[in-house]
A = this chain, B = another copy of it.
């Protein structure tokens, strides 16, 4: 069975496993105070061009979003997002669980437009009753977005400008960041993200780690007693080294970007095949997620030989499906899939 369902179906890049083995019997202190976390943080700060950044390692994306949003917001604040944002629909209410409203604005190809944010902020403060409403206290974006689309550097700059005007942080969810950074069409680098965002995370789970996300605070704005807050949220890993070692490897010799690039090459191969064979695209995306419209019968037929994701029903006869490549996708599998199409 060919597998194109998602980018977290395999274990980890072999260099990670090797390094875990090499370091296995060293005794290190716990909770992220070990030398591997320190080394990984140093490399990430360098890659970001942000020497004063604070870096923390967490195990998953929902956990990271929940923690950042809860600890950067005041109690009376909510988080503004494109209505398609992951935190709005697919995190089981993890944000609300911590007491904060998710304020969804209409998306544009999965993105939160800066002008829509600006208007929302103006309207909120212009409303005579705004003290009876949730204050917009943060802007949340993801890059790539839920639809695999990417912000341009200018779009990030514009969002950042709005956030600074209203003194709210801009937070970027980088669950698939490697697949955004490696995109040849994108002009956004890690240093741009560090410059424009107040906090963001570099996704490991979907880009070749067993688990793990690297959370970066870029503006000397780490919430006070952050380690205690991590623990209080149930998110402090005893053997923090497990995360530190993985990110240390991912940020050595450009492995993180290499993982990203490989997935994008595989996606490009597949995308071109879909085009050539005339499959209609639901949305054009430059990263590792491909959204195709299939007739329902065609979909059922294809399902017998390939695993892919149901995305949404388009109409009675058509369905939007998603094919995802990853750091682990083999070219042979892509070619096999193409042969089937």
Contacts and interface: CB of A to CB of B under 8 A. Distances in A.
Interface of A: 3, 5-6, 8-12, 14, 17, 20-21, 23-30, 59-63, 66-67, 70-71, 74-76, 78, 89-94, 96-102, 128-129, 131-135, 205-206, 210-211, 224-225, 227-229, 231-239, 241-242, 307, 310, 328
5 contacts: A93-B100, A96-B100, A135-B225, A211-B237, A234-B235
A99 B99 contact: yes
Contact of A93 (B5, B21, B134): B134
Given A8-B238, A29-B9, A92-B231, A75 B71 contact: yes
Given A210-B20, A210-B239, A133 B234 contact: no
Contacts of A6: 30
A234 B89 contact: no
Contacts of A89: 133
B66 A234 contact: yes
Per DSSP, are chain A's interface residues mostly helix, strand or loop, or mixed?
loop
Contacts of A5: 27, 29
Contact of A205 (B27, B90, B93, B239): B239
Contacts of A74: 224-225
Given A8-B238, A76-B225, A94 B23 contact: no
Nearest to A8: B238
Given A10-B24, A211-B242, A239-B211, A232 B94 contact: yes
Contact of A67 (B59, B98, B131, B234): B234
Nearest to A235: B234
Most buried by B among A12, A210, A229: A210
